[in-house]
Amino acid sequence: MSETSEAKSETKAPQTCCQKFAKCQRDNLFTILTLIGVAVGFGIGFGVGSTGPTEVTIEWIIMAGMDPKENGKMGGAAVGFIVGMDILSGVIGVITAYLIAPGTRVVAPGTAPPQENTNPMEAPVTTSDVFADLFLNIFPDNVVGIAIFQTKTTREYTNPAKNETRRIIGNLFATDMIGLIFTSIVFGIAAGKCGETGRVFVEWFQSLGDVVLIIMRWFLTITPIGVCFMIAGAVVGLEDVGGTFKSLLLFMATVLVALAVHMIIQMIIYAIASFRNPFMILIKGFKVLICIPDMIEMCDKYGLQKKITRFVIPLSAALKGDGSGAFQAVACVFIAQLSKVDINVGTYVIIALLTGFATLAIPNVPSSSIIIIITILSSLGVPTDQVSLLFAVEWIMDRCRSGSIGLGHLFAAAFTHSVAVGRRTEHQDDAKDDEESGKHISDDEATYSE
């Protein structure tokens, strides 16, 4: 017995300061290297600024799918709240970016002011044309072609004197993201309805998704080096360094405003649905924004039914990314403003929809929001060379929006409980249900803790 206690005391010997410092470095090696890459990138950019601007190009293609098959009132409330909040985040992000306009404070490097139309026969498109393109791209006539081109409407004068034009529907070589998302949803629902026969189809796409994530992680391992040269290339050609940094700070403030507005709306919706104080979740939620088991335990202590929390929290963790949606929407508008690209009402609507739906399938890897931002900008024909500036502040914004997303998971569970159970404060009215679901609960907890 004494030998066992001595062995335990030896294994639990206090670590020295050097050992603690080394462990901290190992645990945060990726973040440290990324910060070093940011610093070195700025150094190279300022050091060789006199040699002229460098053009950086990035091209990523991302495909995502989901299988939204749930049942009953609980599933409908959960999915409705999650999808609604994701779309709302994109709308709020676009509105705040439009009102604050963080990208209009500086002229981007290598960006020329908008030029007059050099083709005298080309007429400007109307708002109805933009919305028509939106619906034409939602329902593509070529499923394979959505990865290559999208529908684009142009107009040309038939009689310039009378301002008569004719509409021309053509193709623009850019990924049709909104059509890709809609097609993925349709195929996912159809595959779920097929049951056993559609399992092979679903497993193939799940395998493809795993392969793509592994490839993305390979690229992300060299993020510090990539960030270094991307920032260096962007900083080299800066004409107004102070203005650029002011724009980045204003961009961060715009994202924080969007996240705050979105959180307030979530709290109001929950308060109306439950007649309970949303600040209780807000205060308790800051202590458990770590992992799913802690969130579930917090929901249990708050008085939510176990069978609801075990269902909604993992579902929300997989689909709900409203914090990222707000960040992506603000970033898309910010880059477009920075590049002096004219944005009309239809383009704002497309950005809000694309960012809202893209958050439903955003991969759980670092900097994945940047990839989606690049994809959306490419589909809109906006230059993506200024996206590299976002890497300087992305790691800070990632912490902010991660906290917003974590609180959103808790509000999703609380809202679903209020809708499915009613405005009752107790959650253990039916002991039989808890006993029947006890086995499943223990199995789920073991799964989430892995």
- Report the C-alpha gap between 154 and 172 in whole angstroms: 11
pLDDT category of residue 22 using cuts at 50, 70 and 90 = confident
What's the pLDDT score for residue 13? 62
Query: SS3 of 219, please?
Result: helix
Q: Helix/strand/coil (H, E, C) string of 51-84? A: HCCCCCCCCCCCCCCCCCCCCHHHHHHHHHHHHH
- Strand-pair partners of 155: 123, 167
- Report the C-alpha gap between 411 and 403 in whole angstroms: 13
Residue 375 in tokens: 């994809």
Residue of 385 and 177 predicted with greater confidence: 385
Average pLDDT of the residues in 277-304: 72
Residues 6+ apart with CB under 8 A from 286: 403, 407
What's the pLDDT score for residue 92? 92
Query: SS3 of 155, please?
Result: strand
pLDDT tens column, 249-285: 888 899 999 999 999 998 898 888 888 888 877 766 6
**Nearest CA to 140 among 178, 95, 168?**
178
Of the spans 30-39, 40-49, 410-419, which averages the highest pLDDT? 410-419
- Report the C-alpha gap between 320 and 323 in whole angstroms: 9
pLDDT tens column, 150-167: 777 777 877 777 777 887
Specify the long-range contacts of residues 26-31, CB closer than 8 Å, at least 24 apart.
30/223, 30/366, 31/395
Residue ranges matching CATH 1.10.3860.10 in the chain: 17-110+201-445
- Report the C-alpha gap between 431 and 304 in whole angstroms: 13
Average pLDDT of the residues in 424-428: 43
Q: What is the CATH number of domain 17-110+201-445?
A: 1.10.3860.10
DSSP states of 161-187: GGTEEEEEEEEESS--HHHHHHHHHHH
Least confident residue range of 84-88, 228-232, 259-263, 304-308: 228-232
What's the pLDDT score for residue 1? 46
What's the pLDDT score for residue 131? 67
**Nearest CA to 381 among 324, 325, 326, 339?**
339
